[in-house]
Amino acid sequence: MPSLLYQSSGFTQFGYRYLLDYIVFLIVLLAAGNRRLSWIWKALLVLAAGINLFGAITFDRFPQFTYDDSFFPNGNN
């Protein structure tokens, strides 16, 4: 609960960084349910991992995948 109430938004980062604080507990709950994952669930997991990998690699490194924001500048712009 405390990590959900943290005041920093992390707007200069890709993805929700503070999810890492409690994702272990979510995975344990998913495993404790002992349910088989459907092919749709597995496909969505692969898609989510691909989107996050793309975002982590390209975030603030390749200008063709970002936009120039003069109101909220970030990085070395």
| DSSP for 3-68, written as a single string | GGG-S---TTSSS-GGGGGTHHHHHHHHHHTT-PPPHHHHHHHHHHHHHHHHHHHHTTT-GGGS--
Provide the mean pLDDT of the chain: 76
Between 40 and 74, whose confidence is greater?
40
Which of 22-26, 31-35, 50-54, 65-69 has the lowest average pLDDT? 65-69
How does pLDDT run across 6-36, given as a tens digit for each residue?
Answer: 666 556 677 776 677 787 888 888 889 888 8
Q: Residue 18's pLDDT is what? A: 67
Token representation of residue 57: 């690699």
With a cut of 90, say whether residue 40 has pLDDT above it. Answer: yes
